Structure 1
Amino acid sequence: MKYLKFTFHICLFFTAIVSAQTKDITLEDIWNGTFRTEGLDALHSMANGQQYSVLNFDRAARNTTIDIYDYKTLEKVKTLVSANDLEAIPYFSDYTFSADESQVILATGEESIFRRSSRGHYYVYNVATGTLSLISEEKIQEPTFSPNGNQVAFAFNNNLYVKNLTSGETIQITFDGVKNSIINGITDWVYEEEFAFVRAFDWNADGSQIAYIRFDETNVPEFSMDVYGEALYQTQEVFKYPKAGEVNSEVSLHIYNLKNEKTTKVEVGADVEYIARMAWTKKADVLSAQVLNRHQNNLELFAYNTTTNTKKVLLKETDKAYVDVTDNLTFLKDNSFIWTSEKDGFNHIYHYSNEGELINQVTKGNWEVTNYYGFNEKAKTIYYQSVENGSINRDVYAVKLNGRNKIRLTSKEGTNNADFSADFSYFINTFSDAKTPPEYTLNNASSGKVIKLIKNNEALVEKLSEYNITSKEFSTISINGNDLNMWMVKPADFDVSKKYPLLMFQYSGPGSQQVANSWISSNDYWYQLLAKKGYVIACVDGRGTGYKGADFKKITQKELGKYEVEDQIEVAKKLGSLDYIDADRIGIWGWSFGGFMSSNCLFKGNDVFKMAIAVAPVSSWRFYDSIYTERYMTTPQENASGYDENSPINHVDKLKGNFLLVHGSGDDNVHVQNTMRLAEALIQANKQFDWAIYPDKNHGIYGGKTRLHLYTKMTNFIDANLGDKIND
């Protein structure tokens, strides 16, 4: 079979312990924490560069601590603060240091709002005195120290406040915040979800000014969800949600001057739809912002001088499809800046002058920079992560600012991720691959040499040695002119002379990746359970996914669900032609974008797939939010055919196989409306299907025994529809 290129084979565990495996994985094992990995929570490098802090939770004692460790010895130096010593709070769930590390904000009683946002009670702990002070009696959002640590800015009820920690006085700096109307300094729903940030305010370098984004969502259409709860009557959650082609929040940029107590509005430009990022430069009077048009194919980075009230565009980027917003903007001491962009076809690092003139492209090649860690001013060195060693792997590199003397700092093939000390003398590397749970090592930042092992999850390895675990095989498969990354899991007693049912998994969203050489997830344990039952499981990243360059990723522009579905159908056909795959028993499943895909694959590939499971699927991109959808599809008004021709709703008449449709009724992201409209279309087409609605559950469909119930249902559905001849 020439179209299968098996590049390497990875066993999950060493052969030496395979013989000791006696247990079978159960669904209860997967969802009760049996296979939980240990990590370094809330890791923070101390300013001295020689120590780091970690948030530790003692489950037995029910105590939370911030512990300080020495990089050289890895020994605990001290416990900075323990919840057991604090009368006011029984525990804390997160912490943030002031710049001089003399104070710490401790979070407690946090409650989730949406995916990234929360509100809670926050205390300032004084390290020297051991005293604790409550920032506000109310539950607030995003408390943030001023640069000198004397003040804390925060949001409450859509307005911004500043508390003076010396006097205890709190002042209000915005006054027009109203729920579902005006938001100051906190992002609206769609910004939080798609631009991936919540705090939309920032202190300048000397603490004299606060910049913030104001959202006027008055004209944004409302979405409502029934919340069933346990009371006699259900309640309703109502919030602003701009669907594709609908009205967005009107955003504006403002600067509050704490000295004269005046607010200035910054003019961002007539064609600006989104203020996607803002950040103060090294100069206290210069603010930067990244702004986009509605199509998101025209990005500008500008600098605004608060002294002269002038704006200068530093750079512009345009693209036929879209321009990705970067999180890697870094201003250096001379106010020149680091920037990442895929303007040459692959995501790379660039250095610009303070006037926006290109000094040099720091990294080059047909590979992608996947993370930017920072710049060492003293050594003039940039640290980054990339896929230079294959698109399913990640390594850490150092390179001079001029692009010379590149060094690979990690040596193990798999996924490496670094956390550097403040002075860039050390980094803690987190390594995993498909056979190795996360290992944490202390490394020399100059050479990459491993100094000491910190943690290696050996207890989990020992526990897993008791279970029947099969291998995970990585390969490439040639589909529609592209070599696509694939993994496959087979039964432990795999026999090439037998025929096995095949279950395919995919996500396929723009820029995503499911085929990665990293430690297994909860789903992977489920695949082990299914492999034990006699299934082959496979996953292929098709066109539109990430880390293979802009052209590969952006081919799906204006046609989400076309090329991705074609690839998955063709994969199923080719795998079905293998001697050991039963072509009459091929299924596919996915979640969210993956549910959109699995639905389309079952309908459009009705001669290939016998069954599909769609969890929380988008059924029409007309129902999804503006920022994500229009980035890839433009608006429905401009691209009606792109929306409708690839909507599962419009292909229900093709259904022949067995279909399980699942959604949470409290999904604020992909609304249950998607499933209801798809279900109605199926009903009116007189197509039988199975479905389940999980009351009040959000996009993750979890809580209590929810996941156990869901995966039991999915397992039973797969057994009923693919496993009928599994033991023949």
Structure 2
Amino acid sequence: MKKLLLTLTVAVAFHNVSAQEITLDKIYSGYYRGKGIAGIASMKNGENYLVIEPTGIARYSYKTSQKEGNIVDGKFESYEFSDDESKILLLTESQPIYRHSFLGKFDVKDLKSGKTISLNDGKTVQEPRFSPDATKVAFIAENNLFYQDLTSGKITQITNDGKKNSIINGLADWVYEEEFGHARQYEWTKNSDAVVFVKSDESQVPEIYIPIYGKKLYPDEMRYKYPKAGEKNAVVSAQLYRLDTGKTMPLNLSSFKNYYIPNVIQTAKPDEIVLVTSERIQNASDILKVNTKTGAIQKLFTETDDKWIDTDSPTLEFLEDDSFLWASERDGNRHLYWYDKDGKLKKQITKGNWEVTDYYGFNPKSKEVYVQTTEKGSINKVVSKVNIENGKSQLISNAEGNNSANFSKNYSYFIETSSTASKPYTFVLKDGSGKTVKELQNNNDQLQKLKADNFSEKEFITIPNDAGDQMNAWIIKPKNFDPNKKYPLFMFQYSGPGSQQVANSWDTGNTLWFNHLVQKGYIVACVDGRGTGYKGTKFKKVTYMNLGKYEIEDQITAAKWFGNQSYIDKSRIGMFGWSFGGYMTSLAMTKGADVFKAGIAVAPVTNWRYYDSVYTERFMRTPQENPEGYDKNSPTEYANLLKGKFLLIHGTADDNVHFQNSMEFSEALIQNKKQFDFMAYPDKNHGIYGGQTRPQLYQKMTDFILNNL
């Protein structure tokens, strides 16, 4: 369950514009829409960068920031260079499947000859990838792995047993894609002579089916494999295919952790691939080096934790000497570590009561790594470079706000994307030391429109919980705020493990809607309690085996704290959340019924037994091992406690948090004679969007708040 991005920039009819006010019509017309720069990527020479523009893929100079023409003309959704930049892979058409996966039509253009060929004879494929020598492209079609020779056009089929809802080759199944965060499950060796891939046998995984109503007399049915907590997962194996023999051999992982194989990673050396594996209990991961000539496997080391390891996004980069960098939470915060080629720890690179939140790369000339961190406070993200030998660090971004970087290949330049809670995104070209070369794009027009309509900024505060922690929070007050007046309070949260809603960054999600509510006379606030991220592992992992317990305790504590402030009407406190946040709102309206008057839960989990295995078991283990943890933290167990006004919302085609969750909670409320409002969105997935859906949804939620809080 990844954090859901709720974008309010859907273009719909724009009418009845009201001056000096943020309205739903303005929000959904795109009136406040910001500007960005799409598809930023550095070229190999380190002197040019590319962006996607309406006329094609444009090349710019870092030194002059001037456009030097198009690499390719035309309209493309995305692109990828071969390692030597002699060819470019162009996505011309796509159709989404799940969160990351999609079917796409791709062309490969030879930039020297100008010749273009279609991948797979123009038929759709998934997850294409150039071989490092740029002579071939591997891809997946109908659950089988192929590669196409770019000179002859010949297509070679690597696997033959792929079958829908049964065998998958080189591609993640639903739960791997959702919880390990990527769809591709194969990798070329550096010398392009072999491919290592994961084969998933999901034939024994229980199947979920979802009716798709459409406008048909008899609804269609979507069926796919979905392993719920404690149920069977796909049986995975690692496979080695050598191009010279045309044969595939299984890799023997029996001596290592092998229940999950989340990651297949290319190293800096030929004839090597690294696998990251784990058991079903995700508290230890083996990092395994595969010799792709012999199939021999060497364990580099095992990463362990007494609770869980986030195997969905590991930082693992191999340097030129085959030593490597690895990110770990072992000292209580996420930091970088340096290992030699055999897996022996050389040193810890970054240290401090802060976290490395992103890794950008390593400059072999200066011996520096480039990272994003929280060293300027847990609500800020900044960019620094750190020498891996002497530990010397230099801040090269703004010192506050949310700052990220896209570096040139030689690290002489980077494009900084930055924002704060009060300033929308700016894109600034800087040199390697952080000195501004040129501002490329700002959103001053967007900000001026908002200010003209009396946009209210977030105020950051901290709130104590019963455990003695200071919880990060923000609050939005009306422009004409009167400290002697009592205001109703509308609380928003997500609260999922490692997440963050209280950040000093521009919010492209709900902040405009929250401002609309503030202008209607509400105060809106958000609190990141225990379980959320960027404040160290103790704060994040205290929820282990009891997902939901401490999180809702902290939200209730925060609501009571607000209720004790002179300007809050404690009899009029409400809550809103989506996904994990919907789960929390459902708990707030039951376990916190004496505190919360009204709540809106969108697409909530209402029983962790109904959610997927990888995510749920990472934090709870299986229901068989921890039945009490599952039952005592399920809103359905407390349906009898509901007192206030409750709006439950769900899309009927939600492939992530199934409609079943809201059906079970509804039945529990009904059998306890509880009155509540319910809205089902036909054929809508976890995001609940499309056509006029979002405007209707947000108008409905607005009306509910105005009428009940």
Q: TM-score, normalised by structure 1?
A: 0.93
> Letter of the aligned partner of 1:125 in structure 2?
K
In 1: Cα distance, 2:247 partner to 2:357 partner: 41
Relative to structure 1, the CA distance from residue 307 to residue 126 in structure 2 (aligned partners, 3 Å threshold; closer, same or farther) is closer
In 2: Cα distance, 1:286 partner to 1:104 partner: 25
Match of 2:306 among 299, 320, 330: 320
Matched, 1:65 2:65: no
Q: Corresponding residue for 2:15?
A: none
Match of 2:331 among 326, 330, 344: 344
* Same amino acid, percent of matched pairs: 49
Structure 1 residue 578, shift from structure 2 partner: 0.8
In 2: Cα distance, 1:272 partner to 1:310 partner: 15
1:371-390 counterparts in 2 under 5 A? 371-390=358-377
In 2: Cα distance, 1:430 partner to 1:102 partner: 29
Match of 1:47 among 44, 54, 63: 44
Structure 1 residue 689, shift from structure 2 partner: 0.3
Q: Corresponding residue for 1:37?
A: 34
Q: Corresponding residue for 2:461?
A: 475
- Structure 1's consecutive aligned runs of 4 or more residues displaced over 4 angstroms after TM superposition are none
Q: Corresponding residue for 1:416?
A: 403
In 1: Cα distance, 2:291 partner to 2:138 partner: 22
In 2: Cα distance, 1:465 partner to 1:594 partner: 29
In 2: Cα distance, 1:147 partner to 1:404 partner: 33
| Contact preservation (8 Å) 1:666, 1:697 | yes
> Letter of the aligned partner of 1:377 in structure 2?
P
Matched, 1:106 2:93: no
Structure 1 residue 608, shift from structure 2 partner: 0.6
Q: Corresponding residue for 1:370?
A: 357
Match of 2:225 among 228, 232, 240: 240
In 2: Cα distance, 1:405 partner to 1:371 partner: 18
Matched, 1:155 2:152: no
Structure 1 residue 269, shift from structure 2 partner: 2.9
1:589-604 counterparts in 2 under 5 A? 589-604=576-591
Match of 1:260 among 234, 238, 245: 245
Q: Corresponding residue for 1:119?
A: 103
In 2: Cα distance, 1:601 partner to 1:550 partner: 25
| Contact preservation (8 Å) 2:575, 2:600 | yes
Matched, 1:391 2:369: no
| Contact preservation (8 Å) 1:664, 1:696 | yes
Corresponding residue pairs, total: 688
| Contact preservation (8 Å) 2:530, 2:551 | yes
In 2: Cα distance, 1:709 partner to 1:215 partner: 41
| Contact preservation (8 Å) 1:361, 1:403 | no
Matched, 1:299 2:285: yes
Deviations 1:375-398 (A, max 9, x none): 001111111010010000011111
Structure 1 residue 403, shift from structure 2 partner: 4.3
| Contact preservation (8 Å) 1:22, 1:468 | no
In 2: Cα distance, 1:144 partner to 1:471 partner: 44
| Contact preservation (8 Å) 2:376, 2:399 | no
In 2: Cα distance, 1:189 partner to 1:135 partner: 25
Q: Corresponding residue for 1:463?
A: 449
Deviations 1:352-376 (A, max 9, x none): 0001111000001111110111000
Deviations 1:573-599 (A, max 9, x none): 110011110000000110000000011
| Contact preservation (8 Å) 1:475, 1:487 | yes
> Letter of the aligned partner of 1:108 in structure 2?
T
Local SS of the residue matching 2:637: helix
Gaps of 5+ in 2: 1-17
In 1: Cα distance, 2:605 partner to 2:154 partner: 48
Match of 2:204 among 207, 219, 227: 219
In 2: Cα distance, 1:691 partner to 1:436 partner: 37
In 1: Cα distance, 2:266 partner to 2:358 partner: 21
| Contact preservation (8 Å) 1:587, 1:611 | yes
Structure 1 residue 489, shift from structure 2 partner: 0.3
Deviations 1:229-283 (A, max 9, x none): 1222210000000000000000000111001111121122364210011112122
Structure 1 residue 520, shift from structure 2 partner: 2.5
Q: Corresponding residue for 2:13?
A: none
Structure 1 residue 410, shift from structure 2 partner: 1.5
| Contact preservation (8 Å) 2:190, 2:272 | no
Q: Corresponding residue for 2:418?
A: 431
1:537-686 counterparts in 2 under 5 A? 537-686=524-673
Structure 1 residue 130, shift from structure 2 partner: 2.9
Deviations 1:281-323 (A, max 9, x none): 1221121111111010111101111234321111112212111
Q: Corresponding residue for 1:4?
A: none
Q: Corresponding residue for 2:24?
A: 27
| Contact preservation (8 Å) 1:363, 1:403 | no
Structure 1 residue 40, shift from structure 2 partner: 1.5
In 1: Cα distance, 2:284 partner to 2:449 partner: 52
Structure 1 residue 22, shift from structure 2 partner: 4.6
Match of 1:191 among 154, 176, 197: 176
In 2: Cα distance, 1:479 partner to 1:635 partner: 29
> Letter of the aligned partner of 1:538 in structure 2?
A
In 2: Cα distance, 1:234 partner to 1:29 partner: 36
> Letter of the aligned partner of 1:213 in structure 2?
V
In 1: Cα distance, 2:111 partner to 2:653 partner: 42
Q: CA RMSD in A?
A: 1.2
For structure 1, which segment, 643-652 or 101-110, has the greater mean C-alpha deviation from structure 2 after superposition? 101-110
Q: Corresponding residue for 2:3?
A: none
Deviations 1:441-473 (A, max 9, x none): 11111x211111111122322332321212210
In 1: Cα distance, 2:604 partner to 2:509 partner: 20
Local SS of the residue matching 1:598: helix
Local SS of the residue matching 1:42: strand
Q: TM-score, normalised by structure 2?
A: 0.96
Q: Corresponding residue for 2:12?
A: none
| Contact preservation (8 Å) 2:543, 2:550 | yes
| Contact preservation (8 Å) 1:337, 1:353 | yes
Local SS of the residue matching 1:597: helix
Q: Corresponding residue for 2:702?
A: 715
In 2: Cα distance, 1:473 partner to 1:273 partner: 46
Q: Corresponding residue for 1:517?
A: 504
Gaps of 5+ in 1: 1-20, 58-63, 84-90, 723-728
In 2: Cα distance, 1:711 partner to 1:548 partner: 32
> Letter of the aligned partner of 2:578 in structure 1?
W
Structure 1 residue 620, shift from structure 2 partner: 0.4
| Contact preservation (8 Å) 1:30, 1:522 | no
Q: Corresponding residue for 1:280?
A: 266
Local SS of the residue matching 1:522: coil
> Letter of the aligned partner of 1:164 in structure 2?
D
Deviations 1:608-661 (A, max 9, x none): 100110000000000000000000000000100100011000100000101000
In 2: Cα distance, 1:720 partner to 1:535 partner: 13
Deviations 1:157-207 (A, max 9, x none): 000111111011111010000000000011000000000010111111111
Q: Corresponding residue for 1:164?
A: 149
In 1: Cα distance, 2:488 partner to 2:176 partner: 42
In 2: Cα distance, 1:461 partner to 1:497 partner: 30
1:137-152 counterparts in 2 under 5 A? 137-152=122-137
In 1: Cα distance, 2:41 partner to 2:457 partner: 36
For structure 1, which segment, 183-192 or 286-295, has the greater mean C-alpha deviation from structure 2 after superposition? 286-295
1:688-699 counterparts in 2 under 5 A? 688-699=675-686
Matched, 1:450 2:436: yes
